[in-house]
Each structure stands twice: as structure tokens, then as C-alpha cells.
Amino acid sequence: MLYYITGCSDFLCSFPNRTNGKKHNNNLVNVYINGRIIPELTMTFHESKGQCRFLHGNALRPDASLLARLIGLENILHSGKNLIRYVHESTTDSNKRFYCEAYVFVMVII
């Protein structure tokens, strides 16, 4: 099976460095695809650099086998439009949740 993934829709995402002057205690960003959390895509948010890095894989990209598993075995990514949500939960500001969303389009070629 071949997978063809088109670019994500444009989105702007920035998690606040500080909330009410307090530093974040939790620097994890969870990734949800079509409403399901994908633990292998969890990232760390680095305040000083303003960037996210994957915990699993090579920091810039997730493990290569993950895509095939999400499309094939687990049926989370499906042909067509898929919603990806990046969520950072603040533990310092009344447990507020910061997130941004993007769409990715997948075409499965058999």
C-alpha cells in the first residue's frame, strides 16, 4: 500500500511562554488525531527556543513505522481530511488548555 499525504492546511500555533508571569511546570504537548491521543507523538515544548520536539523518534520526526500503523492497523488516519490537534495543558494557570489545530489530507493508493 502507498500513502500520499498532502500538506497540512495553514495554521499558526504558539503556546505561551509564561502565563500570568509564571513559568509552566508542564512542558508536554499532546497530539490528537481525529479525537484520539497518540502517545508516540507527544512532544516537549521548549520555552527558551519556542519550539516543540518529539519525545520518540529523532526529535524532529516521529518513528517512520508510526504512519503505517496509524493508517493500517489502528485505522486512526483515514483517506481524506484528518484533524490534528496539538494540546498544551498549563498546570500554572488554573489548568487552562492551549491548543491549535491543522488538517492533513491522506490518500491511500492500493
Query: Mean pLDDT per 10-residue run, the chain (110 residues)?
Result: 54 51 66 91 75 78 80 81 82 66 76
Q: What is the pLDDT of residue 26?
A: 64
- The Cα 19–Cα 16 span in angstroms is 7
Residue 67 lies in a domain: yes
> Rounded distance, CA 84 to CA 34, Å?
6
pLDDT score at 94: 58
How much of the chain is in helix, strand and coil states, percent to nearest 5? 10, 45, 45
The verdict on residue 55 lying in a domain is: yes
In a domain, 18, yes or no: no
In a domain, 45, yes or no: yes
Number of domains observed in the structure of the chain: 1
Domain that holds residue 91: 2-10+26-109
- 48 within a domain of the structure (yes/no): yes
pLDDT at residue number 37: 93
Q: Note the pLDDT of residue 55.
A: 84
pTM of the entire structure?
A: 0.72
In-domain check, residue 100: yes
